[in-house]
């Protein structure tokens, strides 16, 4: 994309890395007496580490290709609404398994929400609220306008809420990476929003005898397929389709879903699923 002249902002996930960071923290606290790292700080940790990995390898590849273009990672806070209904029904499991006594103690002492997980023990669950603001958006815009390739909203962003004084305070939550990237694409007025995932194209009736791979969808068709509730799995393709719908509802122009190795071909219209108004 960069070789073809695009200015690129890159979002990324942080699973399972953020889970590993949290688990290391729990083990260190249990056996070494160290304090546990708050979930939002684990998110920041993963943003820096994954950003570093992408930043360095991309920069090295650009150098190998003779392309002079800076790459930078922005550790990004993403604001959510503290009254988001997701906080009333936390569903995202995080951290390790606990015995019932420990789980109930943490529930009482720390205000955690805990659930029993299929007979394997208890786990903490947190909310997955909708992102409403990218706090560092002006910095991202400035870098993009200067020609820098920016890695941002990593893992959906570090979840923060308004502190009541015009600033922010971190909160234990998990933001969907596709929704955060969709918000970013809208805020920077991206000409193209690409979701690069594990499949070359989007399919309806996936895994069934009448499975059909799609070269193109309109936004209306994407909404209709999503509303049918049978085509896109909730934990995989459904949030990606919803993220693209959100992007168009906020003024988006064009979107594309394909896997990483086919981005070049998809940009030329040779593969991938293209979504248009």
Assess whether 115 and 225 both reside in one domain.
Answer: no
Same domain for 154 and 271, yes or no, is: no
What residue numbers bound the domain in which 241 lies?
191-277
Question: What is the pLDDT averaged over residues 27-48?
Answer: 93
Q: What is the CATH number of the domain that holds 199?
A: 3.40.1160.10
**Which residue among 188, 218, 236 closes a domain?**
188
For residues 47-52, average pLDDT: 98
DSSP, res 134: E
* pLDDT band at residue 105 using 50, 70 and 90 as cut-offs: very high
Q: Over range 135-144, report the average pLDDT.
A: 98
**Confidence at 218, pLDDT banded by 50, 70, 90:** very high
Q: Is 77 exposed, middle or buried (0-12, 13-18, 19+ CB in 10 A)?
A: buried
199: three-class secondary structure by DSSP: coil
Lowest mean pLDDT among 18-32, 120-134, 235-249: 18-32
**Residue indicated by tokens 């929704």:** 179
Model confidence band, residue 206 (pLDDT cutoffs 50, 70, 90): confident
> Considering the chain, what percentage of its residues have pLDDT values greater than 70?
100
pTM of the model: 0.94
Same domain, 172 and 222: no
235-275 residue pLDDT tens: 789 999 999 999 999 999 999 999 999 999 999 999 999 99
Beta-strand relationship, 71-73 and 168-170: unpaired
Q: Decide if 185 contacts 234 (C-beta within 8 A).
A: no
Structure tokens that stand for 95 in this block: 């951290």
Strands 131-134 and 77-80 turn out to be: antiparallel
pLDDT greater than 90 at residue 119: no
Shared domain for 119 and 137, answered yes or no, is: no
212 with 247, same domain: the answer is yes
CA of 18: how far to CAs of 15, 23, 81, 156, in Å? 6, 9, 22, 12
**Three-class SS of residue 146?**
coil
Burial class (CB in 10 A: 0-12, 13-18, 19+), 49: middle
Cα–Cα distances (Å) from 246 to 153, 254, 270, in that order, read 16, 12, 25
- Residue scoring higher pLDDT (186 or 111): 186
Of the three residues 166, 188, 210, the one that is the final residue of a domain is: 188
Choosing from 126, 144, 176, the residue where a domain stops is 126
Whether residue 149 sits in one domain with residue 119: no
Same domain? 70 vs 152: yes
Reported confidence tier of residue 127, pLDDT bands at 50, 70, 90: very high
Tell me the three state secondary structure of residue 205.
coil
Same domain flag for 111 and 209: no
Statement to judge: residues 28 and 137 lie in one domain: yes
Residue 226 is predicted with a pLDDT of: 95
Q: What percent of the chain has pLDDT over 90?
A: 86
Q: What is the mean pLDDT of residues 120-139?
A: 96
Judged against a pLDDT cut of 90, whether residue 234 lies above it is answered with no
* Cα gap 92→238, rounded to integer Å: 16
Count how many domains the chain has: 3
Are residues 183 and 244 part of one domain? no
Q: H helices of the chain, where? A: 17-32, 39-64, 100-110, 137-145, 177-187, 219-228, 237-249, 263-267
Same domain, 121 and 245: no
121 and 136 housed in the same domain: no
């Amino acid at each position: 994309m960069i070789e073809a002249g695009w200015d690129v902002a890159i979002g990324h996930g942080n699973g399972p890395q953020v889970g590993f960071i949290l688990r290391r923290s729990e083990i260190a606290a249990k056996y070494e007496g160290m304090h546990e790292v708050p979930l939002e700080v684990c998110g920041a940790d993963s943003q820096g580490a994954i950003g570093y990995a992408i930043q360095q390898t991309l920069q090295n590849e650009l150098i190998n290709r003779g392309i002079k273009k800076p790459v930078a990672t922005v550790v990004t806070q993403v604001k959510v609404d503290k009254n988001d209904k997701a906080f009333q029904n936390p569903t995202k499991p995080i951290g390790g398994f606990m015995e019932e006594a420990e789980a109930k103690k943490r529930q009482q002492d720390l205000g955690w929400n805990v659930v029993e997980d299929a007979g394997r023990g208890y786990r903490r669950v947190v909310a997955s609220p909708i992102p409403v603001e990218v706090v560092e958006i002006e910095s991202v815009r400035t870098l993009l306008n200067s020609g820098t390739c920016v890695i941002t909203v990593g893992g959906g962003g570090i979840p923060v809420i308004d502190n009541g004084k015009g600033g922010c305070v971190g909160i234990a939550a998990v933001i969907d990476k596709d929704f955060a990237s969709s918000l970013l694409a809208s805020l920077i007025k991206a000409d193209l929003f690409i979701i690069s995932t594990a499949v070359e194209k989007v399919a309806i009736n996936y895994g069934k005898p009448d499975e059909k791979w799609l070269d193109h969808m309109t936004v209306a068709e994407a909404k209709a397929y999503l509303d049918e509730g049978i085509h896109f799995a909730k934990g995989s393709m459904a949030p990606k389709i919803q993220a693209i719908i959100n992007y168009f509802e906020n003024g988006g122009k064009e979107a594309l879903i394909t896997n990483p190795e086919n981005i070049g071909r998809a940009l030329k219209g040779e593969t991938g699923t293209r979504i248009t108004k």
